[in-house]
Amino acid sequence: GESVGLHLPTLSVQEGDNSIINCAYSNSASDYFIWYKQESGKGPQFIIDIRSNMDKRQGQRVTVLLNKTVKHLSLQIAATQPGDSAVYFCAENIPGNQFYFGTGTSLTVIP
């Protein structure tokens, strides 16, 4: 299957700092990407998505950047808060109705 990888398995940041979580994808045909947040014992929760015809999309305190040239996706969280501590997954959709998930990055916010 397709691989969706994350550069760093763990990330620790100080409260109030900005966080950047990276994701590499391998299939140039992927046309839709989603970032999910998963808290312990819960199902993944949608954060933000981006289609392949866009380079950047902003939400509330979050920004997703897509670099199709190097097949790289990043999630930026502004002014990180303790409630942002969780595992973050990127997922890519390759035309064919299937999503492939990365292995996840664990974000820890230090008060």
Site residues (vs another protein, CB under 8 A): 1, 4, 31-32, 34, 36, 41-46, 49, 51, 89, 91, 93, 97-104
| Shortest CB 98 distance to another protein, Å | 6
| Shortest CB 46 distance to another protein, Å | 5
The nearer residue to another protein, 23 or 77, going by C-beta atoms, is 23
Please state, in angstroms and rounded to a whole number, the distance separating the CA atoms of residues 53 and 31.
Answer: 8
| Shortest CB 78 distance to another protein, Å | 21
Q: Is 111 exposed, middle or buried (0-12, 13-18, 19+ CB in 10 A)?
A: exposed
Token pair in block for residue 64: 């997703």
The nearer residue to another protein, 17 or 87, going by C-beta atoms, is 87
